[in-house]
Structures are given as C-alpha cells and as structure tokens.
Amino acid sequence: MRLTKNKLKLLNPAIQSAVALLVLSGGNVALAQEATGAPPVATSEEGVNKVVVTARRREESLQDVPVSVTAFSADQLSKTATPDITALAVALPNTTLKASRATNSTLTAFIRGVGQADPLAGFEAGVGIYIDDIYLARPQAAVADIYDVERIEVLRGPQGTLYGRNTIGGAVKYVTRKLAPQPDARLRATIGQYGQKEIVATASTPIAESARIGGTFARFKRDGFGKNLTTGGENYDKDVTAARLSAEFTPSQDLFIRIAGDITQDDSSPKNGHRLIVGRTSGAPILGNVFDTRANLMQALGHDQEVKAHGVSATVEYTLNDAWSFKSITASRKDKSYAPIDFDSLAVTDMHVPALYTNKQFSQEFNLTYTGERLAGVAGIYYIDANAFNEFDTILAGAVPTSTYTMGDIDTKAWAIYADGSYNVTDAFSVSLGGRYTVDQRDAEVLRQIYFGAAGSPKLGAPNALLFRTDTDLRGGILSRKDKKFTPRLALNYKLNQDHNVYASYSEGFKGGGFEPRLNMVGTKLPLEVARRGYEPETIETYELGLKSAFYKGRITTNAAVFYSDYQDVQIPGSVAIDTNGDGKDDSFAGVTTNAGKAKIKGAELEAVANLTPNFMVAGMYSYIDAEYKEYFAGGVNVASQRRFQNTPKNSANLRFNYDIPMPVMGYGGKLSLIGSAAYKGATAQFETASALDQESYKLYDASIVWTRSDGKVRAGLHGKNLGDKHYRTGGYVFPTLGFEGTLTAFYGNPRQVSATLEYRF
C-alpha cells in the first residue's frame, strides 16, 4: 500500500497537467452544481445552491466527500432533454458510455480505462450500474431512458467498501424519486425530427395516512436515421415502452418500506452497421449514408428483434435511534433479448449471427449505518445469485457453407461483507477506512458445434441440420472456479478552511475470473487443463489526490483530482478469425480471452462551475488519461507496446453555459433559459489493436432554449443535439477474411436531432 518513488514518478505528468490547468483557470476547478445538475438541498447566504450526494450511503455535501463523484439532478436533465445515460458521457471526466455495437439498449461503459466491451455471458461489467442501490448484473437493457429520477450519481474509481457488488472501475447510480405526500401528476411530451414522438406520464397519490402508490408510463418512438435498402424498413429507429410502479409505506416515523417493479420492452428494428469496404466477391459499393444498410437478417429463433427486461424489489429502512439505521434491499431481475445480427450488412447470407440472450439475478443486501458526533460509517453483507445464458449461430458462406452453434451458460454466486467508516480526528482532519471481503463462485457450461449448410443449427430453427463436428463440449460441471479477495480503502481528508478541502486516498478493486463462452478447443488446439482454469481475476490499486474548493461565498466551486492506477491481469475478451483445416483460408472464429499482465494508468480530472451572476452560469470539464500496457503476452512475446486501451480517449473536455432571462408569458411569471454546450473527445481506439474502426478526435455541440413558469408547473423547450451533424464511430465488427464478402462494419452515434418538449405538472 506504500506510494513508492517509482509510482510518484509516474504520477508526475498527471500532477503537472492538473497544476497547469489550475493556474490557467485561476484555481477554479469543480464538480458542477447547476452545470451537472447535482440536487440542490440547501442554500447559502448568497442564495447559491449547495450540492448533496449519497456517494457514501449517507447524505453529505459533495464538496466534503473524499470521492470523485459527479451528480446530475432531475431538473438539469429535464432542461437539457437528456435522453439516456449515454448522453451524460460528454460532461463526465474520463468516462465512456455508449450503446454496444448492433444494439439499442446494451451498455458499454468505461471509467478511467476500466470497463467491459463484450456483453456475452461470463464477462462481468467493470462499471457497476445501480438503480436505487440495486446492482444490474448484466449490460442488456442498461441503456435506460431517463425518467422518474431524482438524480444520477457517477462515481469514479474502485467501489466496494460502500456498495453491494464490488465494481473495479466505478459506478453509475440512479436514484428514483420518492412518492409525494400529496396527489401528484406530471406529463412530458416530445416531438422531433425523424418522426420522434415521446410521452412520459407520472401519477401518485396517498391512499392512507401511511401509504402511497404511484406509477410512470413512458413511450419512446422514432423513425430510423437511415433505411434498410433490402427490406424497405428502418435502421437506427427506436420503439421502447417502459413502466414503473411503486408503493411506499411508513407505518411509523422510524420505518419506511418501498415495493417497486419496472418493465422495459424494446421493439426497435435490428440495428445494422455501415460497411467500410466494397463487397469482396459481389463488388457491392459502400453506401453514401452511414445509417443505411442492405442487411437481410431480421429474426432470431423466429422472433423479431426484441429486448424485454423487468424487475421487482423491496426496500426496508428502519431508524433504530438517532445514531443507527438499518436497511434491507431485496431484488430480482430478468431480461431476454432476441438479437438478429447481420455482420456483413448485405442482402446475402455471408456472416449472420442470430442470437438469444437471457439473464436473471436475485440479490439481497443488509446494511447498518452509524452517524455519531465524530464517527460515521456503513457496514453490510451482500449476496447475489445470477445466471447469464447466450446461444447463437454463426452462419458463414464459403465453398461449404456452415452454421456454428455456440452456447454459454454461466452461473455466478457471490457473497461479501464490507465496512467503511470515517472519523473526525479534529474539526479539520478526518480519516476514512474501509474493507471488503468478496467470494465469487463461477460455474459454466460451453458447447460449440459445426453444422453443414446455411440454415442454422437444430437449436436455432434448423431441426434437420447435419452435424459436422463438435469443437467444444464442456458441460456437466467441468468448468468451475472460486475467487476470493480482500480489498481495502483508505482516505485522508483535511479541511484547510470551510471552503477548501484536500484529500488523498488509496483503494483496491477486484473482479473475479471466469470462462470464455465461445471456446473453440479444436480450432485453437486448446488443452483441456487450460480451458478448465479459465481466465484469472483482475485487480487494480488506485492512488488519488484531490482538492475541492469554493470561492466568493460559494458562487464558484472547484474540484481537481490526479490519480494513478496499477492494473493487474486485465481481462480482455475478443474473437478472431481462424483457419481450422490448414488450407490457408479463414473458415471459422474463436473466442479468446486474455489476461494482460500489467498496465499503468495515470490521469487528471478537473470540473468547474461559476455562477457569474444570479442569472448566468458557466461550467467546464477537462480530463486527461495516460493508460498503457506494460506486460501483454501473445504467443510468448510481450506485445504491450503494440496494444492500446480501448474506449479511453486521452483528452476530453466540455464547456457549457446557462443564461436565464426573466420573461413572463400570458400573464404568468417565468424565465427563458439559453443553454449551450461544446464537448471534445480525443482519438478513441475500439479494440486493443489498431483498426479501421478507430475514431479520430471530434467535437459535439448542443443547445436548448427553455421557458419555465415561475411556479415550476410548466416548462417548454426547443433542443438541438449534435448540431454540427458529426458522424463518429462507436463500435463495429472486423472480420474481413470471413465469408465471400468480408466483414468490416461500423456503428455511429446519433446525427443532428432537433426536438421540442412540453412538461406540465398538475
């Protein structure tokens, strides 16, 4: 746990960057309040909102918490018409949030170089997604549209001594709104380009002195950004329905109970990529519109593209006395996805992957929190039982067309105990100490079979398919592993005065090992003993130094942080084309998961907000990260110098403003808000090796004009996203040697969109 001279030396570039930026900004670096929308719950003498978060499982001022956290309030999300969590990434330091390739609602998340890009069973996320402290074990359906939230908090760095599930890179935490003590009804409608039509309706009411019920219904629909030139249908369209119901009970002033359920269904068309190469055999040209496609795979297992997710939960909070409180969180979730993936994106069957994903989980957490005069903290136990299952056919054209059936069935049972407490040694100096002990049990079954023909396998719709070969059959308890780890956290916090707070922290993160769900033991000549070991756990040690400040009676708040991470045994899944018969032509693929031995990550983060006048706010963010592998063996050779960190741009920045103009309308008082933002993302690698899918640096511009009635009951806005209509790649597939045509397809972020919103609170 010692910060050695070598590690201090590695930190120097990041520290120098932070110091330079502090000087250039006049020392004003911050987590935004109104800029990022943290929930204002108190007001200073100057009328400037203060920010309160629950990053440490208790309400605290954001400026006092020795944690890198950014918060977004419901009001700010509403004013900027933020559609889903991926849109938050442009305002977050060292963070990538995006829809995974070929999907509308599967999330790819990276924070400070740590994440997980592959949504297949067996690969756990490096960034945890929480809804009301409930951990989502799988990324499917995690690109949630934002509605019915009180705030969203994003924590950077390893989490585990405070939260139910250990997450090695960071956490995104949804906090939904509690029901109001009086009848409440709200309506939000949106219309926009590409036939966008959305409606969110919310209502709640007391049914007794100690009971309330409420619900929200949401419908999000939009035509495609492009067309399917083969079927005449839509590409990149949206058709999502969601609902949430909850009941809250307060039998006494010390007891709170919430029962909640939610459901989301995505019936959007299959999302198909843009070919970057001419058809190798047909000569099919590259299409002019990056959102158009010629794909002809529309179904998987006889189903149209569909994602359905639902969950139920019960939360019980009991205040034992002024110091102690108890909380129980019980949750169950399931999701199912039918995913027809047309890799080649042509009107032929060249490389098709119809797939089915199903996930289910049950979790239970108990925790105790203590708040005393000098000591405060939380301790708890956590258990999760989850299953992730996927099966798919890989249908390849060739001299002899084949269909490869792949099944991965992964069970995870994990339990942990954790504790984290802070002690105020003096009024100015406090020490936080935490620890977590985690046990991860992983059991897997993997089956891979090759069938003749392009009709698919018996499991996926071709009952008469003829079996050619079984490459992998690891069923019946062959694959099993248990990983255990203790991970500590230490933070020192010193208040120079009431406006300036400096902290230093050390934390460790851990993610258990597992098994590659696409193992090709014949094609890769993988020994059974190697397959049975699976891939190893990954660990990280992170050192962080931060400064949080306020100036001019809170009108300017600042946050600066530098960090250094020692990342070990990095789990890197992927798939590669292989030649299974030795004829010099690739005829299949293999799933390969590598544990890159060592990596070093260092960086700096700055966020700032300045309330220049009561009506004019300017905010900004800049982040820098230098992530590089030091040990990465391939074929016995260290190729670390030839590998890059994916989804981790070296530089990111954001500048935004909000100017309010008093403006009565139709006899009602109100204000007109002029809102604008410019975001910069540096060059981004999609994989660990260079490819044509890599995205060069780019800028995005957004703007909104919003009128809000003085009583807050009416809000109308006009919003523009990606006003420069920048085309930027977010992912893709690289298999140029497979099939007759070759596959090199890219997926893109949303183009320019203009929409109008109207919100009414009854």
User: Would you say residue 144 has pLDDT above 80?
Assistant: no
What are the pLDDT digits (tens) for 256-282? 999 999 999 999 999 999 999 999 999
- Place 16 in a pLDDT band, splitting at 50, 70 and 90: very low
Lowest pLDDT segment from 263-277, 588-602, 679-693: 588-602
Residues 419 and 381: their CA atoms lie apart, in Å, by 9
- Residue range 356-375: average pLDDT? 96
Predicted pLDDT of residue 147: 82
Q: For residue 392, what are the β-bridge partners?
A: 355, 406
Q: Residues 157-190: pLDDT tens digits?
A: 999 898 789 899 999 999 998 999 999 999 999 9
Query: Which candidate, 721, 703, 711, places its Cα nearest to that of 760?
Result: 711
pLDDT band for position 25 (cuts 50, 70, 90): very low
Q: How far is CA 714 from CA 75, 182, 201, in A?
A: 12, 19, 14
Q: How many helices (H) and strands (E) does the chain have?
A: 3, 42
Confidence of residue 30 (pLDDT cuts 50, 70, 90): very low
With cut-offs at 50, 70 and 90, classify the pLDDT of residue 51: low
Q: How far is CA 384 from the centre of its chain?
A: 20
HSE-CB for 685 with a 13 A CA cutoff: 15
Is pLDDT at 37 greater than 60 in this prediction?
no
Q: What is the mean pLDDT of the chain?
A: 90
**pLDDT value at 450 more than 90:** yes
* Percentage of the chain lying above the pLDDT 90 cut: 78
Q: For strands 274-275 and 743-748, give the pairing.
A: antiparallel
pLDDT of residue 50: 64
CATH architecture of 5-761: Beta Barrel (2.40)
pLDDT at 49: 58
Distance of alpha carbon 184 from alpha carbon 186, whole angstroms: 7
Q: What band does 146 get if pLDDT is binned at 50, 70 and 90?
A: confident
Q: How many CB atoms lie within 10 A of CB 576?
A: 15
Predicted local confidence at residue 653, as pLDDT? 98
pLDDT(567) > 50: yes
What does the alpha-carbon distance between residue 580 and residue 93 come to, in Å, rounded to a whole number?
A: 44
Higher per-residue pLDDT: 75 or 19: 75
pTM exceeding the 0.95 threshold for the entire prediction: no
Most confident of 40-44, 170-174, 218-222: 218-222
Domain boundaries, the chain: 5-761
Q: pLDDT digits over 386-437, tens only? A: 999 999 999 999 889 999 999 999 999 999 999 999 999 999 999 999 999 9
Q: Which of 55-69, 220-234, 277-291 has the lowest mean pLDDT?
A: 55-69
Give 537's contacts (C-beta < 8 A, 6+ positions apart). Answer: 440, 483, 485, 510, 511, 512, 513, 569
- Compute the C-alpha angle 9/10/11, nearest 5°: 90
Predicted confidence at residue 23, as pLDDT, reads 33
pLDDT value, residue 13: 41
Instruction: Specify the pLDDT at position 635.
Output: 81
What is the sign of the dihedral through the CA atoms of 351, 304, 115 and 388?
A: negative
Q: Which residues contact 400 (CB under 8 A, 6 or more apart)?
A: 452
pLDDT computed for residue 158 by the predictor: 94
Task: Give which of 425, 419, 639, 633 is closest to 536, Cα–Cα.
Answer: 633
Q: Which two tokens stand for residue 612?
A: 């220049």
Q: pLDDT-based confidence at 745, cuts 50/70/90?
A: very high
pLDDT at 538: 96
Q: What is the pLDDT of residues 507-550, one digit of tens each?
A: 999 999 999 999 888 877 888 898 999 999 999 999 999 999 99
Residue 33 has pLDDT above 70, yes or no: no
pLDDT at 24 over 50: no
